[in-house]
Amino acid sequence: MSSDMTRRGFLGTVGATALAASTGQAVPADADRPKSGSLKILGIACSPRPGKTTTAAVKVALEAAKAVGPAIETELVELAGLNIPVFDPAAPGSADFEKVASKLTDPKVAGILVGTPVYFGSMSSLCKAFLDHCMALRNKNFALANKVAGVVAVGGMRNGGQELTIQTVQAALLAQEMILVGDGRPTAHRGATLWNQGDDISKDEIGLATARNLGRRVAEVALALRGPA
Ligand SMILES: Cc1cc2nc3c(=O)[nH]c(=O)nc-3n(C[C@H](O)[C@H](O)[C@H](O)COP(=O)(O)O)c2cc1C
């Protein structure tokens, strides 16, 4: 096995136990645990409106990820205001995308949460532009491979196309060889599906539960794949 694969430690001792934790099984010895802050979950909010409902939902998921254990640190990146234009294969560069890409490819980043508003039953154009620019990372020897990914979708209707939106984002992430997860138990479906009611997600208890369960699940699986630091 290559050292890279060893580092990822597929279903290593800690990982298996991290997953087992939610089912009440044994907890690993301290020596087997990843060190504090050794692993990062990055949240990418792909709404053109900074600080609004997509960002709020990604923050909820990141908080739940962080709560999984001291090994986990989190960071939020908002694409709003960045210059990430429609992807043009003939002129692929974007200085702002490069800044986000350097965060994504940080070896410490073991999991990524992609949040998008629902625009006509699909992702925002900003999210699509971002994911298209990620072609550069696929071309760079699949730089995102084996990082864990979960998707957050926020719509203005309870059933406005959140699940469909999640699947379109997942399709792009699967093409990066990322490891896709949905929201964990007890909701356990495709990802975080939130309902924006007047620029507010705080009353959507079911949606908030899916965001928390997704964040937790991304962190647990990321820990599982990394094994001891
Ligand atoms: C162009 C456009 C299309 C939209 N289409 C949908 C839709 O199909 N389904 C839905 O539930 N909400 C739709 N919405 C509402 C947004 O998804 C919702 O307001 C979302 O919370 C916005 O995210 P933000 O607060 O992060 O900007 C649409 C909004 C816009 C601007």
CB of residue 160 inside a 6 A radius of ligand 1? yes
84 close to 97: Cβ distance less than 8 angstroms: yes
* CA dist., res. 121 & res. 103, Å (int): 29
Strand 148-155 with 192-195, pairing: parallel
Query: What number of other Cβ atoms are within 10 A of residue 72's Cβ?
Result: 25
Ligand 1 pocket test: which of 58, 113, 165, 196 has the largest number of ligand atoms within 8 Å of its C-beta?
196
Distance from Cα 102 to the centre of ligand 1, integer Å: 29
Q: What is the pLDDT of residue 33?
A: 60
156 CB under 6 A from ligand 1?
Answer: yes
Say if ligand 1 is within 6 A of residue 195 CB.
no
Question: Helix 125-133 to helix 95-104 angle, to the nearest 10 degrees?
Answer: 70
Q: Which atom in ligand 1 lies closest to the alpha carbon of residue 115?
A: 26
Sheet strands (E) in the chain? 39-45, 72-78, 109-117, 148-155, 179-180, 192-195
- For residue 188 and ligand 1, the question of a CB distance below 6 A is answered with no
pLDDT digits (tens, 9 = 90+) for 68-114: 999 999 999 999 999 999 999 999 989 999 999 999 999 999 999 99
Half-sphere exposure of 33 (CA within 13 A, CB side): 16
The string of pLDDT tens digits covering residues 183-213 is: 999 999 999 999 999 999 999 999 999 999 9
The residue contributing the CA closest to ligand 1 atom 15 is: 156
pLDDT at 34: 67
Q: What is the pLDDT of residues 107-139, one digit of tens each?
A: 999 999 999 999 999 999 999 999 999 999 999
Please name every residue paired with 119 in a beta bridge, in sequence order, or none if there are none: 122
Predicted confidence at residue 36, as pLDDT, reads: 76
Q: Among candidates 37, 19, 58, which has minimal Cα distance to 185? A: 19
- How many alpha carbons fall within 13 Å on the CB side of residue 87? 14
